[in-house]
Chains A and B, each alone.
Chain A
Amino acid sequence: MRVIAHVAVNVFKESVRDKILYNLVVFAVLLISTSYLIGELTAGQDVKIIKDLGLASISMFGLLIAVFIGIGLVWKEVEKRSIYTLLSKPIRRQEFLLGKYCGLVLTLIINVAVMTVAFYAVLAYMEVTSPVNIRASWPAPATDLAMLKAVALIMLELMLVTAIALFFSTFSSPFLSAMLTIAVWVIGHFNEDLRNYGATISSPVAASIARGVYYVVPNFAAFDVKLQVVHAQAVPLRYVAVTSVYGITYVAFVLLGAAIIFSKRDFK
Chain B
Amino acid sequence: MKVHPAAWVALVVLFAAVIGLQMLQAEQQPLGLPAGVSANLLYVRSPEFLRRAALSFDALAGDIYWIRTVQHYGQTKLSKDPNKQYDLLFPLLDLTTSLDPYFDVAYKFGSVFLTEAFPLGASRPDQAIALLQKGLRARPDKWELAQELGFVYYWWLMDYESAADWFTRASEMTNAPNWLRPLAAVTLAQGGNRASSRTLWTEIARDADADWLRDQAKLRLTQLDAMDGIDLIERVVEQYRARTGSLPTSWAEMIRAGFLHSVPADPSGKPFRLDASTGKVTLDPTSPLNPLPDPDHRL
Contacts and interface: CB of A to CB of B under 8 A. Distances in A.
A/B touching: CB–CB < 8 A: yes
Interface of A: 192-193, 195-197, 199-203, 214-216, 219, 222, 225, 227-228, 231, 233-235, 239, 242-243, 245-246, 249-250, 252-253, 256-257, 259-260, 263-264
Q: Is the interface of B mostly helix, strand, loop or mixed?
A: helix
B211 A203 contact: yes
B74 A199 contact: yes
Given A192-B75, A199-B78, A259-B7, 14 more contacts: A197-B74, A199-B75, A227-B37, A233-B31, A242-B21, A243-B25, A246-B18, A246-B25, A249-B14, A249-B17, A249-B21, A253-B14, A256-B11, A260-B3
Interface in B1-32: 1, 3, 7-8, 10-11, 14-15, 17-19, 21-26, 28, 31-32
B48 interface: no
20 contacts: A195-B26, A197-B74, A199-B74, A199-B78, A202-B212, A202-B215, A215-B22, A219-B22, A222-B25, A227-B37, A228-B32, A234-B32, A239-B31, A245-B21, A246-B25, A249-B14, A253-B15, A256-B7, A256-B11, A256-B14
B242 to A, nearest CB: 46
B119 to A, nearest CB: 13
Interface in B52-75: 67, 70-71, 73-75
B33 A200 contact: no
B69 to A, nearest CB: 10
A200 B32 contact: no
B77 interface: yes
Nearest 10 Cβ contacts at the A-B interface: A199-B74, A253-B14, A202-B211, A196-B74, A246-B21, A200-B74, A249-B17, A231-B34, A200-B70, A193-B71
Interface residues of B, number: 35
Contacts of B40: 227
Interface string B29-50: 0011110010010000000000
Given A195-B26, A196-B71, A200-B70, A233 B11 contact: no
Contacts of A231: 33-34, 37
Nearest to A249: B17
A214 B23 CA distance: 10
A51 to B, nearest CB: 13
A252 B14 contact: yes
Contact of A256 (B10, B31, B73): B10
Nearest to A247: B21
B28 A242 contact: yes
Given A202-B211, A202-B212, A264-B1, A239 B14 contact: no
B215 A200 contact: no
Contact of B31 (A235, A246, A257, A259): A235
A238 to B, nearest CB: 8
A242 B74 contact: no
A215 B33 contact: no
A179 B91 CA distance: 33
Contacts of A222: 25
B208 to A, nearest CB: 12
A250 B16 CA distance: 10
